[in-house]
Amino acid sequence: MNLGELIGEEPLIEARRVWARRGNKVVQKYRCTSGWRSGRLVSTPASCSKPLDVKKRFTLKKTKARLQPRITRKTKRAKKFNPITKRLTQLNKPLRPKVSSGGSTKWWQRSN
């Protein structure tokens, strides 16, 4: 018997494991399901609850706003032609929960 059985609560799942790219390699990363970094890919589940660096946050926000058209074009091209990206799509497909009708939450936040 463990503490979870005594209290009667389900454990809090802080992150889900997904496949991602690091350069030209396929590695396992984690998608945060709660906290400030909800929905973000991180290398360790402990990173989900780390405090935010506000300066880095605003720098990234400005950079993304400035380069958004370029990022969009590169992403489209990668998804269409890059074999590693296609492999990632296939690897992550079974990790998505099966939902019969469209829900309002993101697929990585659903409990199925």
Q: What is the pTM of this model?
A: 0.66
pLDDT band with cut points at 50, 70 and 90 for residue 20? very high
Cα–Cα dist 45/108, whole Å: 14
Cα–Cα dist 47/32, whole Å: 9
DSSP one-letter string for 25-73: EEEEEEEE-SSTTTT-EESSGGGGGSPP-HHHHHHHHHHHHHHHHHHHH
Supply 42's token pair.
Answer: 């991180």
Q: What is the pLDDT of residues 66-108, one digit of tens each?
A: 999 999 999 999 889 999 999 998 999 888 777 666 666 666 6
Min mean pLDDT across 26-30, 52-56, 92-96 is at 92-96
**What percentage of the chain has pLDDT greater than the value 70?**
76
Question: Of 90, 80, 108, whose CA–CA distance to 17 is shortest?
Answer: 108
CB atoms within 10 A of CB 97: 11
Average pLDDT score, the chain: 84
- Contact status, residue 15 vs residue 42, Cβ threshold 8 Å: yes
